[in-house]
Amino acid sequence: MRKSSNRLQSSDYEIELPVNPSIKSKNIQVVEDKERNLVILRVYGEIEEPSEYIDEISRLNQLSNQYDIIEITLNSPGGSLNTAVDLASIINNFNYVITIGKGEVASAAFMLWTMGDIKVVTDYSMYMAHRESYGMYGKTSEHKYAADVFGSVYEELFEECFSDILTEKEALIADRSEAWVSYKDLVNRDGIISYDEYVQPKNPYTVAEYYITDDGKLLMFDTSIQAYRTVEIEFGDEIITDMTEYLYGIDSLTELPKPKKTKKPKKKSKKKDEE
């Protein structure tokens, strides 16, 4: 059986059939960026239930076994906590997470944004945190037990996501209502940078050479992902640790002096060895 198409053809003419307006594009997209050697996850608009993103979640899970780095862009008012938790469980499989907030980043979307090892804010973006809400049908006793369990789980999740980001005042507001924070406030907090800093890193070393710091740390610039990595030799095996935080100036290594180029040891002459 031949597959149906939205284009009718003949030797004399072509007819474009209208696209079915009931079929909407997904607002969660997973893209494999081979050039930068990372995975891109885009979340735009309201986050719906997991059943809406079966293919996307499956693809993200597959790519988490192939790549070390994921870049997540969020412009969303939030939505399903079930989907957010499902995505978070896969995002944790990556060794390094970069999150970028654009426009409105609220509720479940804000929670996902907090997962970044480097968290990026764009101009005019706004962020909102709040405690859980839910609705259900059933008996009063069922409501009571459900609320107790749901509140306990969400309290733990809320603490894990926001304890290092929100101020004490903002956390108190979020506990009772909605706490909104602007990009101007967040960009001055630990581990958070502006978009300009993200695309133009602070550390200017862009040559694919080896460097060594005064305390003996050996660094190299990995051009495949445009990031610094430490290099250690142990029992003949090369151990590589990601140094992207160093590249963006939010790691303690930035307090060290500018790395010096390593010098190859001079070979001893055969004459001296013979003597």
How does pLDDT run across 156-211, given as a tens digit for each residue?
888 888 889 999 999 999 888 999 999 999 998 888 999 998 887 765 444 345 55
- Alpha-carbon distance of 61 to 57, in angstroms, equals 6
How does pLDDT run across 17-28, given as a tens digit for each residue?
455 555 567 899
pLDDT value, residue 247 = 62
176 against 264, higher pLDDT: 176
Cβ burial, residue 194 (10 Å; 0-12/13-18/19+): middle
Amino acid 207 reads V
pLDDT value, residue 264 = 42
Q: Which one of 35-44, 192-201, 207-216, 247-256 scores highest in mean pLDDT?
A: 35-44
Residue 216: pLDDT band (50, 70, 90) is: low
- Alpha-carbon distance of 273 to 275, in angstroms, equals 5
Q: Which residues of 94-118 are buried (b: 16+ CB within 10 A; e: fewer)?
A: bebbbbbbbebbbbbbbbbbbbbbb
How does pLDDT run across 42-66, given as a tens digit for each residue?
999 999 999 999 999 999 999 999 9
Q: Which one of 31-35, 139-143, 202-206 scores highest in mean pLDDT?
A: 31-35
pLDDT value, residue 75 = 98
Residue 262: pLDDT band (50, 70, 90) is: very low
Average pLDDT over residues 251-274: 45
- Alpha-carbon distance of 9 to 122, in angstroms, equals 47
Domain boundaries, the chain: 23-198, 201-261
Inter-residue contact 49 to 81 (CB < 8 Å):
no
Instruction: Using the predicted structure, report yes or no on whether residue 95 has a pLDDT greater than 70.
Output: yes
Inter-residue contact 240 to 231 (CB < 8 Å):
yes
* Range of lowest pLDDT (75-79, 157-161, 230-234, 237-241): 237-241
Strand partners, 70: 39, 97
Residue 49, both tokens: 């239930």
- Alpha-carbon distance of 94 to 96, in angstroms, equals 6
What average pLDDT does the chain have? 75
Fold of 23-198: 2-enoyl-CoA Hydratase; Chain A, domain 1 (3.90.226)
